[in-house]
């Protein structure tokens, strides 16, 4: 099987950027250190949290509000699968006391941002979230050799590696129920790191968590989209599907950017022809070219599901709006699929 290493392992492309980041990073550290007399450089500053991706940043922002600052590391519209930090990003992030990431290899590109004395909070593994195991079936094989002890080594030699890494779906934020757990976890951690505002953070986190649990109920009651199956752009929608009682029939690109194999095309064709899949979901951060060609071939409509949203992306700026948007997008897919005059080759 061809090897397609994740972006953070592609040495050639990253070398120049890596050196540049390291140089700027070093210079900034030195500068901080030298003008602030060697104490904890950030001690007297406001509470600043750097968050890897927009939806988690939105949760953090709603808890911190004006009592601190949230820096979002991944710019709106970028894919976490292909992001290369810019030197300016590293400079912006240096003010942070706390780095919040999804964790578990999903956003390892954050690592160059994190100063040695900063604390990193791994969201997926520390929020009490029930993990969804990725299957080893014919849809995709996700294995990261040597990094998942519970995973048999049978796939280790195949070189099929998703840039997410482990055998769990890392897109844990795509369920409002998980969002509530994340909010509670953030509230506790923020309270620890900024005791002056501890009560406010805890109160807001509790309030946000109960809002999100209500939202989970509201979105879960979307009965008409239950038991529906769709083809996702990449294998990042299992948490969402689980929360909405949907099924993912397959992924167009198991690894973002990698064209489907003949075997994979067969799975997707089967899903479409048997009526198991009602639409194909593209994603705004990934090229839709292969998916739209496939949609035309298979006679399926496409809709845009967005795992990230973010600042300046209308209707998907906040975490709650992003979740609502995706449920509405599923509705749209079903509407399109039920229109007899629908033309899959002109969408």
Closest CA to 60 of 112, 98, 108: 98
Q: Strand 247-251 and strand 302-304: pairing?
A: unpaired
Give the largest CA-CA distance in the chain.
71
State which residue, 179 or 236, has the beta carbon closest to Zn ion: 236
At closest approach, how far in Å is the CB of 281 from Zn ion? Answer: 13
State which residue, 236 or 260, has the beta carbon closest to Zn ion: 236
At closest approach, how far in Å is the CB of 226 from Zn ion? Answer: 24
Name the residue with the smallest CB distance to Zn ion: 236
State which residue, 190 or 237, has the beta carbon closest to Zn ion: 237
State which residue, 47 or 142, has the beta carbon closest to Zn ion: 142
Residues 6+ positions from 325 with CB-CB distance below 8 Å: 306, 309, 315, 316
At closest approach, how far in Å is the CB of 193 from Zn ion? Answer: 28
DSSP state string for 126-194: HS-PPP-BPP-SSS-----TTT-TTS-GGGGGG----TT-SSB---GGGSHHHHHHHHHHHHHHHHHH-
At closest approach, how far in Å is the CB of 234 from Zn ion? Answer: 6
At closest approach, how far in Å is the CB of 248 from Zn ion? Answer: 13
Binding site for Zn ion (CB under 5 A): 236
State which residue, 174 or 189, has the beta carbon closest to Zn ion: 174
């Amino acid at each position: 099987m061809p090897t397609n290493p994740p972006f953070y392992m592609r040495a050639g492309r990253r070398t120049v950027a890596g050196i540049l980041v390291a140089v700027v990073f070093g210079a900034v550290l030195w500068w901080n250190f030298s003008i602030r007399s060697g104490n904890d450089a950030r001690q007297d500053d406001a509470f600043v949290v750097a968050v890897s991706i927009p939806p988690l940043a939105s949760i953090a922002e709603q808890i911190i509000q004006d009592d601190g600052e949230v820096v979002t590391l991944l710019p709106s519209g970028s894919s976490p699968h292909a992001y290369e930090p810019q030197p300016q990003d590293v400079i912006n992030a240096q003010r942070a006391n706390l780095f919040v990431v999804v964790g578990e290899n999903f956003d390892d590109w954050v690592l160059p941002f994190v100063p040695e004395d900063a604390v990193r909070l791994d969201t997926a593994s520390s929020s009490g979230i029930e993990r969804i195991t990725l299957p080893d079936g014919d849809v995709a094989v996700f294995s990261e050799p040597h990094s998942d002890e519970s995973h048999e080594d049978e796939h280790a030699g195949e070189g099929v590696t998703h840039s997410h890494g482990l055998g769990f779906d890392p897109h844990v934020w795509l369920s409002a129920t998980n969002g509530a757990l994340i909010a509670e976890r953030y509230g506790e951690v923020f309270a620890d790191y900024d005791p002056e505002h501890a009560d406010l953070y805890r109160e807001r986190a509790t309030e946000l968590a109960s809002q999100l649990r209500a939202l989970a109920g509201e979105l879960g009651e979307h009965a008409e989209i239950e038991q529906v199956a769709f083809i996702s752009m990449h294998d990042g929608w299992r948490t969402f599907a689980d929360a909405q009682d949907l099924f993912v029939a397959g992924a167009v690109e198991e690894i973002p950017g990698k064209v489907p194999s003949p075997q994979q095309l067969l799975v997707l064709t089967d899903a479409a022809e048997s009526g198991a899949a009602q639409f194909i979901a593209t994603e705004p951060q990934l090229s839709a070219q292969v998916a739209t060609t496939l949609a035309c071939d298979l006679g399926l409509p496409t809709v845009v599901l967005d795992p990230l949203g973010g600042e300046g992306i209308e209707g998907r700026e906040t975490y709650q709006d992003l979740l609502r948007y995706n449920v509405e997008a599923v509705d749209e897919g079903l509407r399109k699929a039920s229109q007899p005059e629908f033309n899959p080759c002109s969408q």
